[in-house]
């Protein structure tokens, strides 16, 4: 009998769910404006040349074999130096594991800590992978509320109320996808104190730590005392290397009680997938040792594009939004009475106007009645997207801009 597993069919990655509809709209001859995927390389940003050259040289020199499952030592050493220099983090190469993107790292940590029926706490709204990892491994991701009126800061009381005997770790994501929030020092300290009170590990997805537009990034590790802290980061966003699929896990354990077991648990999984991409790892060494010119350019353009997006959302009837402080996302709230349910809105907007945004409920229960858009597109595309949104509003028989209502 051919029988498929149930769990894989429960996976919903909202960011890409509407791709078949987008293709259909394109077949009908309408140009789709893609505001769904957080990939700068889909717009006018390029991987820095010195990184590409290093990978090319490595490949020509014969570094095309499986690397060490943990990642090549030279790269782990470069990551270790980078973490020390930038954040005063003491993570030796032995406590670092290179992964095929932070996406793989998320799966590794969920499997590291959970058995079927266990729980872990993730920010709500939540990056979808945090939730579907639990679907795959038969655990439960519980979303804790982030407070919209407070710029989407985590609600520490809500985290506390959701800790049960089956809770295995607390996940933080600052800067945050999808809200663009930067968690405050006060909130981070409180979360760390709470984690210490229950002796729970903290997993921190820091993939947007360099994409700061307005405000100061507070690295959460500085409040860690006697708990296990697992940091996740990668090359996709800050080095414009999305397609290269490289990330890493670093471990901080001031107690010394957990680190060996954590590394071993991650390595057991890493060995079963053999290794990260070897030539790409050489490119990543060049990324860490090269300059940040590309990042300055990215931030410069992003500030202007995010401001424009923010202004246009603020002017649109039935939409309100917090100005993102970091990342390349914006997460407006929509009035259900005008736009309907957020999934309906996202598919209708794509079907009728060819603008691809992601429905907020794809980011969990706290995302309902919102949408997420990327702010990476050049200004003329953002303006075109809003002309189309306004024409959709007209179709609904509404006025388009607040100033005119
Ligand atoms: C919060 C967050 N974590 C992880 C990832 C996955 O990144 P990677 O390309 O390193 O797999 C993304 C990608 O958008 C993300 O937004």
Domain ranges of the chain: 7-46+293-397, 49-289
Helices (H), 273-327: 278-289, 293-315
User: Residue 405's pLDDT is what?
Assistant: 44
Q: If pLDDT is split at 50, 70 and 90, which confidence band does 31 have?
A: very high
The minimum-distance atom of ligand 1 relative to the CA of 103 is 11
- The better pLDDT of the pair 273, 7 is held by 273
Does ligand 1 come within 6 angstroms of the Cβ of 40?
no
Strand, coil or helix: what is 382?
helix
* Chain CA centroid to CA 201, Å: 20
Ligand 1 centre distance from Cα of residue 402 (Å): 35
197-238 residue pLDDT tens? 999 999 999 999 999 999 999 999 999 989 999 999 999 999
Token pair for residue 254? 């001031």
Ligand 1 centre distance from Cα of residue 18 (Å): 19
In order, the DSSP letters of 72-116 are -HHHHHHHHHHHHHHH-----GGGEEEESHHHHHHHHHHHHH--T
The minimum-distance atom of ligand 1 relative to the CA of 37 is 14
Does ligand 1 come within 6 angstroms of the Cβ of 177?
yes
Calpha distance 344→321 (Å, rounded): 20
Residue 402, pLDDT > 80, answer: no
- Closest CA to ligand 1's atom 16: 177
Residue 149 has, within 13 A of its CA and on its CB side, a CA count of: 0
Token pair for residue 85? 């220099």
Under a CB-based contact definition with an 8 Å cutoff, are residues 36 and 357 in contact? yes
Q: Which of 39, 127, 220 should be mutated for ligand 1, with most atoms under 8 A from CB?
A: 127
Ligand 1 centre distance from Cα of residue 171 (Å): 14
Residue 359, pLDDT > 90, answer: yes
Alpha-carbon torsion (280, 274, 114, 87), positive or negative: negative
Percent of the chain with pLDDT over 90: 90
Does ligand 1 come within 6 angstroms of the Cβ of 103?
yes
What residues contact 295, with CB distance under 8 A and at least 6 apart? 210, 238
Q: If pLDDT is split at 50, 70 and 90, which confidence band does 13 have?
A: confident
The minimum-distance atom of ligand 1 relative to the CA of 208 is 1
Token pair for residue 361? 């409920």
Ligand 1 centre distance from Cα of residue 404 (Å): 39
Ligand 1 centre distance from Cα of residue 100 (Å): 11
Calpha distance 127→143 (Å, rounded): 11
User: Residue 403's pLDDT is what?
Assistant: 55
Calpha distance 207→130 (Å, rounded): 14
Instruction: Please give the biggest Cα pair distance in the chain.
Output: 65
Tokens 């947007």 belong to residue = 208
Does ligand 1 come within 6 angstroms of the Cβ of 41?
no
The pTM is what? 0.95
How many C-beta atoms surround the C-beta of residue 256 within 10 A? 7
Token pair for residue 77? 């050493």
Residue 20, pLDDT > 70, answer: yes
Calpha distance 10→228 (Å, rounded): 31
Percent of the chain with pLDDT over 70: 99
Q: If pLDDT is split at 50, 70 and 90, which confidence band does 16 have?
A: confident
User: Residue 41's pLDDT is what?
Assistant: 97
- The better pLDDT of the pair 75, 137 is held by 75
Ligand 1 centre distance from Cα of residue 16 (Å): 14
Token pair for residue 347? 């598919």
Q: Which of 110, 171, 172, 177 should be mutated for ligand 1, with most atoms under 8 A from CB?
A: 177
Considering the chain, what is the average pLDDT of its residues?
95
Q: If pLDDT is split at 50, 70 and 90, which confidence band does 12 have?
A: confident
Strand, coil or helix: what is 2?
coil
Does ligand 1 come within 6 angstroms of the Cβ of 37?
no
Helices (H), 173-320: 185-198, 259-272, 278-289, 293-315
Q: If pLDDT is split at 50, 70 and 90, which confidence band does 135 have?
A: confident
Residue 257, pLDDT > 50, answer: yes
Does ligand 1 come within 6 angstroms of the Cβ of 353?
no
Under a CB-based contact definition with an 8 Å cutoff, are residues 119 and 168 in contact? yes
User: Residue 291's pLDDT is what?
Assistant: 87
Q: Do 7-46+293-397 and 49-289 show the same overall fold?
A: no
55-101 residue pLDDT tens? 999 999 999 999 999 999 999 999 999 999 999 999 999 999 999 99
Average of pLDDT values for 362-380?
96
The minimum-distance atom of ligand 1 relative to the CA of 127 is 1
Backbone angles phi, psi at 24, to 5 degrees: -65, -45
Token pair for residue 103? 């996406």
Helices and strands, counts by H and E, the chain: 14, 15
CATH code of the region 49-289: 3.40.640.10
Q: If pLDDT is split at 50, 70 and 90, which confidence band does 15 have?
A: confident
Report in angstroms the alpha-carbon separations of 69 from 233, 254, 310. 17, 25, 43
CATH class of the structural domain 7-46+293-397: alpha beta
Token pair for residue 115? 């058995």
Beta strand pairing status for 119-124 and 167-172?
A: parallel
Does ligand 1 come within 6 angstroms of the Cβ of 233?
no
Residue 404, pLDDT > 90, answer: no
């Amino acid at each position: 009998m051919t029988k498929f597993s149930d769990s894989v069919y429960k996976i919903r990655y909202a960011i890409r769910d509407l791709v078949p509809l987008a293709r259909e709209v394109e077949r009908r001859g309408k140009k789709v404006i893609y505001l769904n995927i957080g990939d700068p390389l889909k717009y006018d940003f390029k991987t820095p040349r010195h990184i590409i050259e290093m990978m090319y040289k490595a490949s020509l020199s014969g570094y095309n074999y499986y690397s060490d499952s943990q990642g090549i030592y030279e790269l782990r050493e470069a990551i270790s130096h980078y973490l020390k220099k930038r954040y005063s983090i003491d993570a030796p190469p032995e406590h670092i594991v290179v992964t095929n993107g932070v996406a793989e790292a998320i799966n590794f940590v969920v499997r590291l800590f959970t058995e079927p029926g266990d729980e872990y706490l993730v920010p709500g709204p939540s990056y979808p992978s945090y939730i579907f990892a639990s679907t795959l491994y038969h655990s439960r991701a519980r979303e804790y509320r982030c407070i919209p009126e407070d710029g989407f800061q985590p609600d520490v009381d809500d985290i506390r109320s959701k800790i049960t005997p089956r809770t295995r770790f607390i996940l933080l994501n600052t800067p945050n996808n999808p809200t663009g929030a930067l968690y405050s020092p006060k909130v981070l300290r409180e979360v760390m104190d709470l984690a210490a009170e229950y002796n729970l590990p903290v997993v921190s997805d820091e993939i947007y730590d360099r994409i700061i537009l307005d405000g100061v990034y507070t690295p959460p590790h500085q409040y860690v005392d006697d708990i296990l802290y697992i940091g996740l980061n990668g090359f996709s966003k800050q080095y414009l290397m999305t397609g290269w699929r490289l990330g890493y896990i670093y471990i901080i354990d001031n107690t010394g009680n957990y680190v060996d077991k954590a590394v071993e648990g991650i390595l057991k999984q890493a060995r079963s997938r053999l290794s990260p991409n070897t030539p790409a790892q050489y490119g990543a060494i060049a990324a860490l040792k090269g300059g940040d010119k590309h990042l300055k350019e990215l931030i410069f353009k992003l500030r202007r594009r995010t401001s424009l997006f923010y202004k246009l959302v603020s002017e649109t009837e039935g939409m309100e939004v917090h100005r993102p402080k970091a990342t390349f996302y914006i997460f407006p709230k929509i009035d259900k009475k005008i736009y309907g349910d957020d999934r309906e809105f996202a598919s209708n907007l794509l079907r009728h106007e060819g603008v691809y945004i992601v429905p907020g409920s794809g980011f969990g229960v706290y995302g309902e009645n919102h949408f997420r858009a990327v702010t990476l597109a050049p200004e003329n595309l953002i303006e075109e997207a809003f002309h189309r949104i306004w024409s959709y509003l007209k179709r609904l028989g509404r006025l388009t801009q607040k100033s005119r209502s």
